Amino acid sequence: MTRISLLRPLAAAMAAVWMVAGCGGGTSSEALASNQTLRFAIIDQPTSLDPSDVDSAVDITFLAEVFTGLYKFDNNLKIVPDGTTGMPDVSADGKTWTFHLRKDMQFSNGDKITAKDWIWSWTRTLKRNKAYASNLYIVTGAQDVANGAAASVSGLSAPDDYTLVAKLDAPAGYWLSQLAMPTASMVLDQKVIAAAGEDAWTEKPETYIGSGPFKVTAYSAKESVEFEPVKGWWGGDTGALTKVHVDFHIDVAAQVQKYEAGGYDIVGMANSPAGPDDVLRFKSDPAKSKLLTIYPGARATAVGFNFITGPFASKPGATAGAPTNGSSGTTDPGLAGRRAFSLAIDRNQLADIACAHAITCQPATGGPIVKGFKGYLGDGGDPWAKFDVAQAKQLLEQWDPSGTKRKNLEYRYNTSPANDKRAQNLQAQWKQNLGVDVKLVPSDFPTLQRDRKKKIVIIGRQSWSIDYDHPQDWFDNLWSCDQAKVGRGNDEAYCNPDLDKITAAANTKPLDQALPDYVSALKTLVNDVVWMTIDYGTQPYIVQTYVKGAGYNGLYDYSWVGIKLTQH
Amino acid sequence: MSRGLAVYIVQRLLLVALTALIVSSVVFIGVHQLPGTALISERDTNPATEQILMRHYHLDLPWPQQYWLWITGLVHGDLGESLVNRGVQITPLLLREASVSVTLGVAAVIITVLVGMSLGILAAIRQNTWVDYLASTTAVIGYSVPSFVWAFLLILLTVSGFYTWTGGFIYEDIGWGKPEQIPVPALALGLPYAAIVARLTRASMLEVIRQEYVRTAWAKGLASRAVILRHALRNALIPVISILGPLITGIIVGSVVIEYLFGIPGLGQEFVNSILSRDYNIVVGVFTFYAALVGVANLVVDLTYPLLDPRIRY
Amino acid sequence: MASLPTSVEASQELLLSELPEQMSMAQDAWRRLQRNRLAVIGLAIIGLFLATAVVSLVWTPYQTWQQALGPTYQGPTPAHPLGLDDYGRDILSRVMGGAGIALTVGVGASLIASCTGIVLGMLAGFYKGKVDALISLVVNIFYGVPDLLVALILVVLIGRGIFNVILAIAITGWLGMARLVRGQTLSIREREYVEAARTVGTPNLMILVRHILPNALGPIVVQATYLVPAAIIFEAFLSLLGLGVPPPAPSWGRMASEGYKALQIAPHIVLAPCAALSLTVLAFNWVGDGLRDAIDPRMRR
């Protein structure tokens, strides 16, 4: 808690600097192009554009521009006020947070925003209880609303129109980071949603109302979406862009082609990075390599095993959300199999083949949390990530002496050039090193998501991109018993009550004290091989030379407000 | 338009409608034999919501009833609603994409007929010379090499080739929306069929030229040659028109792959995407569209016959 | 022509006298085919691919699915004459394996489609009436349906896999053959010796098999030959869309689509399968053309 009070003046200063920089306009010496339309594409189409529901990195990019939260991450990953006038006042015991809201905020249709709107929005998010509703669980009474036991959140109150008070169940150092995420805690227009319908309001530009610098002006299902800046935006200057045009369902190879022909300005925004073949091609061309930037990423890719169904299950037949591991559990019939499959993969070979000679990703040997972030177990820290064919074979026979479990295995993943390469290499290595034939079953991302949330995927691609630098982001979203229920984010249905106790306790402590607890929890996780982590990703961006101000801060795209197109 | 002709056209249109109906019914019924929940691709796995959705899409009814609902909707031109993207009406979506595919298809057919016939006529006139052999061999290679290989080569040529050779001055923007984006995919689509048309044209022209009276007239000189050529040309069009039906079907098939490679938002791409995302309502809708399209195209083809061959009357 | 025979023996003699003519027709055709240079080259190419396919079943220089045999994208070297692909797999081995897949799919689909088409076509043309009406109705309705669409739906419904792909292709492939055979049957059944056989009481099945089928065999074989490259290209289309024979099966279409992504840094990857595909299809087309010219009754005069 001392941390926050130190950050407050710092953040306030930063906020001031940010506002000045935003309002003042650039001191650029380059002339602006007459056409300020930013064009790029994404591989699929958005799964959900409703901030209460959203859970994919692609969709988050758009939400960050259309909606506003209490706080946000700036281009340097610093938390700055967005809907507030400064950092929150936190009580001495850390359980009462007071937010001072900006008085000039309004939605793009002119509706004013008061504290009541924030309360309504957060309550709605909890009622719908999707992936990031968990960002609000720490508030007293929030989980009751999520479970349907209450209609309003007892811990939220609005002493006046521009003050929001939240009482927490326990002190939570990470809560500010959660509030800065462009998802579940953003403010929504109650009037519009009530009139247009809880699900239908996102479907038409006229009803898709937010309070961010941009708004949707055209939406063509399966084809494209267009954004334009909000005139007279309360937050100040909306930047140089006059339009942002995004095409859907363009595969990445075609995107790069079109980019090279001048049809797109960027490839890589909204989590649609160029494939390894294209990255390699750009890197080897002296002229093109200047257009390529490889940002260190915060994404881990892994293979997830199902803990309640199938041959790798720890408790076959258990209901999703019931304990599968921990001191209460006894045997884990799938453990040897999961370990065997993990040991049989040479991650160096995979990174070389699937990631353009290890440019777009690095082999993962230190557990699921990405190298460079808190919770990384250190190089080689994952004992089951080493490449050991002999031991793998031994464990394979131990797990499946009759040879029946290893038949008819299917690896599910969402299609993209990089994922295809990883999948094919996994298939080849499992065949070569274990003699097991795994069928590849690609699909589009929404289908994979749907099946993963139903907990019916036996072996599937898993991936997580860090929301903020805190292990809580991983545990509470991916591996808790609560998230193991159907429809929530723990696709493996791994439920270890002992682990949840440890992490729950760690969540209340300041990070430097909590870190050893998180690390020991991670070691348990890694030993249970819940995730077979294979690589840590980087984020390649291909940007035209005339585009200025675009980039990636490790977790999110730079804001569109700072992007401009110079003459070309 | 004579009364007989009008009656004929109406009869044929009814047949087209019937055919489209039967074909799509088969697909509809086939697709609805799958377990019900497989059709719901939703972010919700909340059973209450799933119930609501089932009712919304009438998936809780026995399939004969669903079929009836769909037929009555079809008669009004309503193909229903997308399963994956709620609220998206299928008919306007497909109409928009059909206009894209039809534009591409027509361009391909034009290229096919023009390029193919020119090649065939050239080969026939210069029969048994090196021109003939070259043209004939080119033709066989033309329809042996799959259209996507042509697409690869064309993309290489126009995207990388032109770009590098002219130092970035000329570039081919892959995609759709500008008129100059039509020729390249249309070419890739039409080349194999142009080759087939070339062969047919050559053969039928030769048939005419070989006849005795023609050879005599040909030997006589220029004036009669022109007449012969015109007569031969008209004759040559007939087999080409006769394969126009299968040609159109072939172009529809080819367009699925070509639209995918060039990123063109047409019916073909829609079909592939909706199959992959299990949006069966759209799948059935696209099928209906195509069946109707093929039927109408065949009708148009049959109607142009009498223009070419005065012997045929309806 | 002479009046109809009045005894069984006489009519049987008449039937037998047709046989040498059919045999000499076949010999004629074969002789003419041999003279056609392109057809002979085509046969040689097909033979080469067939031999490659058979050999690939038991041996290829390297496993077709094994990755990381060397640096990815490596060009041709003595150890790997066609180079390595983007996964480090040996391209020569994969082209060999691809021959097996292409020929299996091509010949398999053609066989199934042809047999189905022959049976239904003969039934329709021979029995006429209601049987013909029904079969012709089905054929005419589905003739215009784009076959790729049906195949796509089928592959998604019944899953991927080499037999499923063959089935998907054959399901629309039989229509053309049925039409052809029906036409042939209709004309052949009017011939004198068939009339004779029926009057005498020969069972229908025997008539179909011993008289109608052999006489229609020429066009049937030509059509069946053309069906093979069509099926091969079809499978390549499916592979391009990601719905063909599943990985790591080295289908040429799949190799081409994977290699295309790396076209500018490693052109050799896409070259081999495209060349193999084109050559095989070309060869079958030449043979088909040669067969068609060889059995053409006009040239016989």
Could you read off the pLDDT tens digit of each residue along chain A, which spans 568 residues? 333 343 344 444 444 443 433 333 444 457 888 889 999 999 888 878 888 888 787 888 899 999 999 999 888 878 899 999 999 998 888 899 999 999 999 999 989 999 999 999 999 999 988 878 888 988 999 989 988 888 999 999 999 999 999 999 988 878 888 898 888 889 999 999 999 888 889 888 999 999 999 999 999 877 889 999 999 899 888 889 999 999 988 888 888 888 887 889 999 998 888 888 888 888 888 888 889 988 878 889 999 999 999 999 988 888 888 888 887 657 888 999 999 999 999 999 999 999 888 888 999 999 999 988 889 999 999 999 999 999 999 999 999 999 899 999 999 998 887 898 999 999 999 999 999 999 998 877 777 888 898 899 999 999 998 888 889 989 988 999 988 988 888 999 999 999 999 998 998 887 888 899 999 999 999 999 999 999 998 888 999 999 999 988 878 899 999 999 998 8
For chain A, the chains sharing at least 3 beta-carbon pairs closer than 8 angstroms are B, C
Answer positive or negative: Cα dihedral of B197, B203, B204, B205. positive
pLDDT of residue A410: 94
Q: With an 8 Å Cβ cutoff, are B148 and C237 in contact?
A: yes
Are the C-beta atoms of residues B243 and B132 closer than 8 Å to each other? no
pLDDT of residue A139: 92
Structure tokens at C89: 């797999």
Q: Name the residue among A176, A111, A148, A54 with its Cα closest to residue A489.
A: A54
Chain centroid to CA A136: 16
Give the CA diameter of chain C.
81
Q: With an 8 Å Cβ cutoff, are A486 and B45 in contact?
A: yes
Residue A409: beta bridge partners? A438
> Regarding predicted confidence, which is higher, C32 or C71?
C71
3-class SS of residue A296: strand
Closest alpha carbon within chain A to B88: A221
Are the C-beta atoms of residues B162 and B171 closer than 8 Å to each other? yes
3-class SS of residue A280: helix
The rounded distance, in Å, linking the Cα atoms of C89 and C60 is: 12
The rounded distance, in Å, linking the Cα atoms of B90 and B103 is: 20
Output B151-154 pairs: Cβ under 8 A, ≥24 positions apart.
B151/B185, B151/B188, B151/B257, B151/B258, B151/B261, B151/B262, B152/B261, B152/C256, B152/C260, B152/C263, B152/C270, B152/C274, B154/B184, B154/B187, B154/B188
The rounded distance, in Å, linking the Cα atoms of B97 and B80 is: 16
A409-414 and A459-465 beta bridge pairing: parallel
Give the CA diameter of chain B.
87
3-class SS of residue A52: coil
The rounded distance, in Å, linking the Cα atoms of A457 and B169 is: 50
Residue A455: C-alpha distances to residues A48, A128, A490 (Å): 20, 19, 8
The rounded distance, in Å, linking the Cα atoms of A345 and A335 is: 16
State residue C64 phi and psi, 5-degree precision: -70, -20
The rounded distance, in Å, linking the Cα atoms of C260 and C277 is: 15
Structure tokens at B264: 């063109």
The rounded distance, in Å, linking the Cα atoms of A245 and C126 is: 63
pLDDT of residue B308: 60
One digit per residue, the tens of pLDDT, for chain B of length 314 reads 678 778 888 887 887 788 778 877 877 777 776 554 444 444 444 556 566 666 777 777 777 777 787 778 777 777 777 766 666 778 888 888 888 888 899 999 998 888 888 888 888 777 777 888 888 888 888 888 888 888 888 877 776 666 666 655 555 556 676 777 788 889 999 998 898 888 888 888 777 777 766 667 667 766 666 776 777 777 777 777 778 778 888 888 888 888 887 878 888 888 887 777 677 788 888 888 887 887 787 777 777 766 666 555 54
Number of H helices, E strands in chain B: 13, 0
* Mutation for testing the B interface, residue in C143, C154, C241 having most B CBs under 10 Å: C241
State residue C212 phi and psi, 5-degree precision: -75, -50
Are the C-beta atoms of residues C227 and C113 closer than 8 Å to each other? yes
Q: CB neighbours (10 Å) of residue A160?
A: 9
* pLDDT higher than threshold 80 for residue C102: yes
Find tokens 């391009």 and name the residue. Answer: C240
pLDDT of residue C18: 54
The rounded distance, in Å, linking the Cα atoms of B139 and A14 is: 70
What is the full DSSP assignment across A174-227? THHHHHHSSSTT----HHHHHHH-TTGGGSSTTT---SSSEEEEEEETTTEEEE
Q: Name the residue among A110, A103, A114 with its Cα closest to residue A233.
A: A110
Residue A181: C-alpha distances to residues A3, A57, A58, A155, A259 (Å): 19, 11, 14, 21, 30
- Which distant-in-sequence residues (6+ apart) come within 8 Å of A376 by Cβ? A366, A367, A369, A370
Question: Cα-Cα-Cα-Cα dihedral of B89, A194, A55, A254, to 10°?
Answer: 30
ipTM, 2 dp: 0.75
pLDDT of residue A29: 53
Give yes or no for C266 touching B (CB within 8 A): no
Structure tokens at A85: 């006038």
3-class SS of residue A511: helix
pLDDT of residue B38: 43
State residue B32 phi and psi, 5-degree precision: -85, 0
Q: With an 8 Å Cβ cutoff, are C246 and A442 in contact?
A: no
Are the C-beta atoms of residues B309 and B71 closer than 8 Å to each other? no
pLDDT of residue B165: 65
Put residue A497 in one of left, alpha, beta given phi > 0 → left and psi -120 to 50 → alpha: alpha
* pLDDT higher than threshold 90 for residue C248: no
Distance from CA of C96 to the nearest CA of A (A): 19
Are the C-beta atoms of residues C218 and C29 closer than 8 Å to each other? yes
Q: Determine if the pTM surpasses 0.90.
A: no
Provide the 8-state DSSP code for A140.
T
The rounded distance, in Å, linking the Cα atoms of B108 and B80 is: 31
Give yes or no for C158 touching B (CB within 8 A): no
HEC assignment per residue over B102-156? HHHHHHHHHHHHHHHHHHHHHHHHCCCCHHHHHHHHHHHHHHHCCHHHHHHHHHH
With residue A343 as reference, give the H or E element that holds it. helix A335-343
Closest alpha carbon within chain B to A203: B87
Rg (CA), chain B: 24
The rounded distance, in Å, linking the Cα atoms of A325 and A327 is: 7
Give yes or no for A390 touching B (CB within 8 A): no
For chain C, the chains sharing at least 3 beta-carbon pairs closer than 8 angstroms are A, B
Numbered residues of chain B with Cβ closer than 8 Å to any chain C Cβ: 19, 22-23, 27, 30-31, 34, 140-141, 143-146, 148-149, 152, 156, 160, 245, 249, 252-253, 256-257, 260-261, 271-272, 275-276, 278, 283, 286-287, 290-291, 294-295, 298
Give the CA diameter of chain A.
72
Distance from CA of B274 to the nearest CA of A (A): 10
Structure tokens at A393: 């074979």
Q: How many CB pairs under 8 A join B and C?
A: 98
Structure tokens at C241: 């869309």
The rounded distance, in Å, linking the Cα atoms of A86 and A100 is: 7
> Regarding predicted confidence, which is higher, C204 or A106?
A106
Detail the DSSP E strand segments found in A271-408: 292-305, 361-363
Q: Can you state the percent helix, strand and coil of chain B, rounding each to 5? A: 80, 0, 20
Q: With an 8 Å Cβ cutoff, are A261 and B163 in contact?
A: yes
Residue A9: C-alpha distances to residues A390, B69, B138 (Å): 58, 65, 77
Give me chain C's average pLDDT, please.
Answer: 83
Stated length of chain C: 301
